Amino acid sequence: MLNDNITDILLAAILVSSTYDKDQPVIKWGGLIVAVGAVVSALFG
């Protein structure tokens, strides 16, 4: 179970790093919101 959480958190970090530098705010903040949701889901779900 811990490995699944770590995997989800790492994938969320990759999502943030790949979308945060984009010029369009929808892509930047959308990626950030999805990543935060994935981390919360991995920790508490």
Q: With a threshold of 0.85, does the pTM exceed it?
A: no
CA dihedral sign of residues 37, 15, 17, 5: positive
The DSSP annotation for 1-35 comes to: -HHHHHHHHHHHHHHHHHHTT-SSHHHHHHHHHHH
> Looking at the predicted structure, is the pLDDT value of residue 1 above 70?
no
- Long-range pairs, 30-35, Cβ under 8 A, ≥24: none
The pLDDT value recorded for residue 25 is 85
Which SS3 state, helix, strand or coil, does residue 43 take? helix
Q: What is the pLDDT of residues 8-43, one digit of tens each?
A: 888 888 888 888 777 888 888 888 888 888 888 888
